[in-house]
Structure 1
Amino acid sequence: MTAADSFDSIAPFYDAVHQQQADIEFYRDLALECDGPVLEVGCGTGRIYLELRRAGVDVTGIDISADSLDALRDKATQDDLAVDVRQADMRTFDPEPGREYALVIVPFRTFLYLQTVDDRLAALESFHSALGPDGRLALNAFVPDPEIVAEHYGEWRARKLEIDGERYTHRTRSTVVDAVEQRVRVQTEVLDADESLVVDSSHELSLVSKAEFELLFRLSPFTSWNVFGGFELESLETATQEMVWFAE
């Protein structure tokens, strides 16, 4: 199953699972502060993208999942919002001719779906090419924590959902599939009220450390970068904090 197939299958349930996240206000404020258009990489069903549009931000969105983009467009129509989104791969997308972005954002750990060093460098090259002079990149990723891998990987984590009056159980399980390459498979299942399987999908992501991010930026076209701990931009000191990276 490709990454696009995986996200297509869970698109109907994505908003109910992920809507309440601390990153929405953070990326909205960044977008409002910048002087120029914004590009969101991995805009999905519009969890962040539509909030930027509601705030009046000139934002383009790309995503690999056609079904997720269809869900975004449906929600935009209901809210009478004009959107500019298209299906594209973050490693190879071409910026619109004549359009330079003041800010490229890659929220919700989307960068970790890149499996190889070449893929990550290709994506950084694409992000850099999309930026105008003095533009900057912002992305977030979790800190790989061996204690969490040892204690919790392999276990199902479940939550109850209610969508359009129907009840579901959404559960995920992470397992290490390649310890050498530090790749993790995340399996997602959705069961209906009768415990019948509605969705069974999986995707892989990579565990990328702070040091690896620094090496990637050194090899990329970016000339400066910095990392913070969490969306309050504190010092990164523990594995419980989210890595928030900026590059220019």
Structure 2
Amino acid sequence: MTESIPLYRDGRHYDAMNRDIIADIPFYIEEAQHAMGPVLELACGTGRLAIPIAQSGVEIVGLDVSPSMLAHARTKAKQAEVAITFVEGDCRSFALGRKFALIFMGFNSMQHLHEYASLASLFSNVLQHLATGGRFVFDVFNPKLSLLARQPEERKHERDYQDPDRKGTIVFEHSVLYDDASQVAHIQCYFTRRGANGEERDFRQEELNMRCFFPQELDLLVRSQGFEIVEKFGNFERKAFASGEPKQIVICRGT
């Protein structure tokens, strides 16, 4: 799945680009501690969430399809002196031979699954790996129509970050072309480096395709896959989901 996405091949750039995204960390630590048992993170990437969860004293396994991201995660876990089992595998077809009190899929990762068959395989696999009473938690964006309706040539500045190779500041911009038939947002990512040698505009361009889930559709999907929704939040401060909230954070369990 994600190994085919260049944005997820360089863990150093990924971490540098997302360094300031921390709002979800306390939320998932709390969920992991509340589970009172082993935890599995799907699409764990570089361990951005798994490592602080392990540091809180929770046993956690991280699964990801990208070998390069997992290699970086293992290096970081060793530096942090925490024991985490990282497994290379696809969230739609993994078989770990054990069950977990909590399985979660953070940082909008489920939006990389575009087809119903892929989503059904994910939920089926999660159900097989959940212990009795266990919970599945995930978060996705709440689609913002003004964003999806933007002209495809319109760029939006996302953030700046320091080049991990110490070559200056990298400016990250993106544009969006939304396909309403597939509900997939085709996001073109542009990276410009500003350093001592001047500006290298668009030295790197990558495409990121994300499936959009509208709120009622998402609830029906969860229920159709043998789960019931326990809680649904609109942000990581646990505000109840309502119109205009930026996120859909779903806590569910098997029926």
TM-score (norm 1): 0.90
Contact residue 158 and residue 171 of structure 1 kept, 8 A: yes
Aligned to 2:56: 55
Once the two structures are superposed, what CA deviation does each residue of 1:74-112 show, in whole Å capped at 9, x if it has no partner?
111222222201111111111x22x21000111111111
Query: 1:158: Cα distance to partner?
Result: 4.5
Aligned to 1:157: 157
Partner AA of 1:84 in structure 2: T
CA 198–66 in structure 1, closer or farther in 2 if over 3 Å, else same: farther
Q: Which residue of the other structure, out of 232, 237, 248, is the alignment partner of 2:242? A: 237
CA 228–240 in structure 1, closer or farther in 2 if over 3 Å, else same: closer
Once the two structures are superposed, what CA deviation does each residue of 1:126-179 show, in whole Å capped at 9, x if it has no partner?
111110100001111111121222247641424332235432324242422522
Residue 111 (1) aligns with residue 97 (2): no
Q: Which residue of the other structure, out of 216, 219, 230, is the alignment partner of 1:214? A: 219
Runs (4+) off by over 6 Å: none
Contact residue 9 and residue 201 of structure 1 kept, 8 A: no
Distance in 2 (CA, whole Å) between partners of 1:28 and 1:223 is 22
Distance in 2 (CA, whole Å) between partners of 1:3 and 1:177 is 20
Once the two structures are superposed, what CA deviation does each residue of 1:214-245 show, in whole Å capped at 9, x if it has no partner?
12112202244432221122222222331110
Distance in 2 (CA, whole Å) between partners of 1:134 and 1:158 is 39
Aligned to 2:13: 13
Contact residue 186 and residue 204 of structure 1 kept, 8 A: yes
Distance in 1 (CA, whole Å) between partners of 2:117 and 2:176 is 24
CA 60–176 in structure 1, closer or farther in 2 if over 3 Å, else same: same
Distance in 1 (CA, whole Å) between partners of 2:41 and 2:91 is 10
Describe the SS at the equivalent of 1:115. Answer: coil
Partner AA of 1:237 in structure 2: A
Aligned to 2:199: 195
Describe the SS at the equivalent of 1:27. Answer: helix
Q: Where does structure 2 lack aligned partners over 5 or more consecutive residues?
A: none
Describe the SS at the equivalent of 1:19. Answer: coil
Contact residue 144 and residue 239 of structure 1 kept, 8 A: no
Aligned to 2:88: 87
Greater displacement, 76-85 / 26-35: 76-85
Contact residue 151 and residue 176 of structure 2 kept, 8 A: no
Contact residue 168 and residue 190 of structure 1 kept, 8 A: no
Describe the SS at the equivalent of 1:81. Answer: coil
Instruction: State, as a whole percentage, how many aligned pairs show the same letter.
Output: 24
Number of positions where the alignment pairs a residue of Structure 1 with one of Structure 2? 245
Distance in 2 (CA, whole Å) between partners of 1:221 and 1:158 is 37
Residue 228 (1) aligns with residue 233 (2): yes
Aligned to 2:133: 134
Describe the SS at the equivalent of 2:149. Answer: helix
CA 170–125 in structure 1, closer or farther in 2 if over 3 Å, else same: farther
Greater displacement, 190-199 / 11-20: 190-199
Q: Where does structure 1 lack aligned partners over 5 or more consecutive residues?
A: none
Partner AA of 1:160 in structure 2: D
Residue 122 (1) aligns with residue 121 (2): yes
Contact residue 174 and residue 184 of structure 1 kept, 8 A: no
Describe the SS at the equivalent of 1:160. Answer: strand
CA 227–218 in structure 1, closer or farther in 2 if over 3 Å, else same: same
Aligned to 1:68: 69
TM-score (norm 2): 0.88
Describe the SS at the equivalent of 1:52. Answer: helix
Contact residue 8 and residue 14 of structure 2 kept, 8 A: no
Contact residue 121 and residue 219 of structure 1 kept, 8 A: no
